[in-house]
Amino acid sequence: MKFEKISNKLVDFFLMPLLVISICGSISLLPTLLQLIPNKAILCFIGLLILAYVGYSLLRVKEKFFRILNKIKKPLLVILICMTLIWQLMLVRALSGKFGWDPRIFIEYIYRISSKISNDKIYFSLYPNNFLLLVIEKFFQSIFSIKTPNGLILKLNFLNIIIIDVSAILLFGAVKKLFSKRVAYYTIFLYWILYMMWPFVVIPYTDNWSILVSALFLFIYSRNQNFKNFSFNFCFGIVTAFALLMKPSTVIFVIAMVIVKIVFNLQRKPKVEIKKIIELFASLGLGFIVLYSPVKIYQQHNNIVDIENVRKMPVTHFIAMGMSGNGGYNSNDVTENINIKSPQKRNKYNVKLIRERLSQMGLGGYLKFLGQKQINDTADGSFGWAAEGNYLYEPFIRNINKIENHIRALFMHIDVNQGYLIADANMSGYKFFPQIIWVVALLFIFLASIGDSVETLQLLKYTIVGGFVFLLLFEGGRSRYLIQFLPYLFTLAGVGLNKLIILKSKVKK
């Protein structure tokens, strides 16, 4: 058997069961969400489905409609892009407000108000991997002379729009090159309807940056699959450094790529040319060092925050935390790690926790725990919108128009205890719609994974398996952590949709 087929069977051995668990988990959420939908929305939804079906039937019968549609395709695309931008701007105006957890800490550090909470004083000593984002936000605040926290939040949310939309352009270009224009349109449609149109633009954090990183990886790879171009290699090295500094788990794509390249080169048995290997590592390494080294040097000699390396949370802490509760954040684990000053003792404490939790669950119990955690990590089609306390609250723009007021009512509600607006996890009952689309997307991903063993598909599958396994082993517990892998998931879903259409056309013939 060929190496590539063995490799494909190996990755499918892990991917297929995990996808089945995700599909079952995502479907299981639908009945509850269905009960929350407003009655008017149900009627509108059914009406749209009927119109779509009638329109599709007419298009199949009358070729004139195809010719007309082809002529107005570009103007329609321009209108859609403009409407999307307007919608995103309205999202920012309607929803920009305060937020909790890590994004809040960045704002507090920049404006020197972190003394409110004692643990925040050592935040970047505990999590130095977030330093680059702090530098970017501080630079952004300085260059535009933004005087207030609210002003900075608003401007960072406008920056989010650019990050999300540029990622869409890069992803489209990458998928078009790797597969086809049609697959690219399917991929971007899923990205548009499940991410661009939802209010992730109002949370300035690493999630949106990680999507940009993933899109850049795919784009550069699509233009330089054999890594023969020095400039593209150099850029790939820079993006790898940026990924490692911004969100280390995004380099799973690079690991997957190395595995796939080894497998397929073993099959082809290419001639080893030392000169080309040296050039490859030199170009990649140079690009990596150009960004990574200055940031790391500045991290130790900066004027924004003091970082004590000995306080850094060890990898074992995130593994131990990922084995507790629902597999997510555990405040007791965090507090204990903060209180233990010695890195060696802290690591021993976490290793002890891991052993205790494994012993308590047993092998069967741990596998059952991982199955539930896979559902927690991947089933939610809203990708964890408002799943965390104080996710987003108190929008600060008062003068908004009627549409923006409706947007605010859709994604936020009055908290009875606090007495102010806070992000609504159920999206006023409309969460059913992204959920059902996500179920369909997962089914397309499953379909795309069946049978084919070509290099690019294996790269996507290895990356997705790597992402799933990473979230199972480390802190996870909610689908917000899945955002960093969405470009790969949507691409595979686009491939699956295209595969279904091709199969359907073959059956008709």
Instruction: Tell me the domain boundaries of the chain.
Output: 3-36+72-307+379-508
Which pLDDT score is estimated for 437? 93
> Is the alpha carbon torsion for 349, 352, 358, 361 positive or negative?
negative
> Is the alpha carbon torsion for 83, 178, 239, 378 positive or negative?
positive
Beta strands in 203-271 (DSSP E): none
**Residue 321 tokens, joined:** 């935390």
Which pLDDT score is estimated for 56? 62
Rounded Cα gap, residues 108 and 106, in angstroms = 5
Which pLDDT score is estimated for 114? 46
Q: Taking the CA of residue 424 as centre, how many other CA atoms within 13 Å lie in the half-sphere pointing to its CB?
A: 20
Residue 257 in contact with residue 243, Cβ under 8 Å? no
Which pLDDT score is estimated for 116? 46
> Which residue, among 32, 22, 27, has the nearest Cα to 426 in the 3D structure?
32
> Is the alpha carbon torsion for 214, 218, 219, 221 positive or negative?
positive
Which pLDDT score is estimated for 134? 92
Which pLDDT score is estimated for 190? 95
Which pLDDT score is estimated for 115? 47
In angstroms, what CA-CA distances link 426 with 33, 267, 297?
8, 50, 44
Question: What is the distance, to the nearest Å, from the Cα of residue 303 to the centroid of all Cα atoms in its chain?
Answer: 31
Which pLDDT score is estimated for 117? 40
Which pLDDT score is estimated for 77? 86
Per the listing, tokens 């796939």 go with 260
Please list the ranges in the chain whose pLDDT falls under 70: 1, 55-70, 113-121, 267-273, 507-509
